[in-house]
Amino acid sequence: MSKKSLWMCIMSVILIAYICFALPLAAKMAKADNIRGIEVHLSDPQSRFVNVRDVIAETGIDPDTVSRCLRSTFNLQALENKLLASDNLQDANVTLRANGKLHIDVTPMVPVARVFDPAEPSYYINATGKRIRAQLRYHIDVPVVVGRFDSIHPAKRLLPLLDYIANNPEAGAMVATVTQEKDGNIIFVPTIVGHVINFGDTSMVEDKFRRLTSFYRHIAPTNGWETYDTIAVKWRGQVVATRRNKAIAPVTLPTEEEQTGCLDIDNNEPHPDDTSENTRA
């Protein structure tokens, strides 16, 4: 055998050995660069809005085929943005772990109210005003907001009030339904039946609840819980209660002696038909 033929045989053996070693190694390296699965962590595992299966569905990724995705080219930011756009998720963070798995941390929506607007289907809103579609599969016990909402008086306008209710159990126990009227006045029906409360707007929320609590503790028990049909705390430092019975008092006919001008009404005196009471709080 010539020297050239010998070198050719040696080179062929080396090439075959390299192929036998390199191909499995390349396959192993390629496999190591693939995503090895999906892990989902819910900040509230008891959430009634989403579960792990829902989050995976929101990603649009098939868990059975995710291993075909390359770690080096996977767009984490795009997936995170997609999850943040979901109306069931309040926050989301997507990372690739050292074990090769796609890790998804999500915070489910925490609704603070359910909105009923005649112009569209009902929905929930969270503390930042993000909408959550209402579905038949769940019902959350939160204050109900009713009214026609527009760009001038959006449902988001009520968030300071709703946030206070959500974070103050005593205030939350008072409120059953919140209504926004056409003029923007906020009216809510308390859990204490028999009257409504004119809250005005969302300014001085804490002070208004303080005045309302004072009224319930000191005025209503004395005058009677059925005496008033409307309690207004919209004016600074005041509680204005409108009596339920608005019947006009009978008019006393003057006698012959009284018909000499004594019926002139002093403009500073309250009108007999005035049925509201003003209380400083």
Helix (H) or strand (E) holding 231: strand 228-232
Given this model, what pLDDT does residue 267 score?
A: 41
- 113-157 residue pLDDT tens: 888 888 888 888 887 888 888 877 777 777 788 888 887 888 888
Nearest to 112 by CA among 174, 156, 148, 147: 156
**Rg of the chain over all Cα atoms, to the nearest angstrom:** 35
Task: Give the span between the Cα atoms of 58 and 193, in whole angstroms.
Answer: 43
Given this model, what pLDDT does residue 248 score?
A: 45
pTM (2 d.p.): 0.56
- 235-253 residue pLDDT tens: 998 999 888 865 544 544 4
pLDDT at 186 over 80: yes
- 212-225 residue pLDDT tens: 999 999 988 888 88
Q: Cβ–Cβ contacts within 10 Å for residue 211, how many? A: 21
Q: Which amino acid is at 164?
A: Y
Nearest to 187 by CA among 175, 203, 176, 200: 200
Given this model, what pLDDT does residue 175 score?
A: 84
Confidence of residue 29 (pLDDT cuts 50, 70, 90): very low
Please give the domain boundaries of the chain with CATH numbers for all domains.
38-108 (3.10.20), 111-247 (3.40.50.11690)
Q: Give percent of the chain above pLDDT 70.
A: 76
Confidence of residue 105 (pLDDT cuts 50, 70, 90): very high
**Averaged over 103-112, what is the pLDDT?**
88
Q: Which residues contact 227 (CB under 8 A, 6 or more apart)?
A: 220, 241, 243, 244
Most confident of 114-118, 174-178, 204-208: 204-208
Task: Give the span between the Cα atoms of 54 and 120, in whole angstroms.
Answer: 25
* Average pLDDT of the chain to the nearest whole number: 78
Query: Mean pLDDT lowest for which of 15-19, 93-97, 274-278?
Result: 274-278
Query: CB-based burial of residue 22 (10 Å sphere; 0-12 exposed, 13-18 middle, 19+ buried)?
Result: exposed
What does the block give as tokens for 62? 């098939």
Residue 118: DSSP 8-state = T
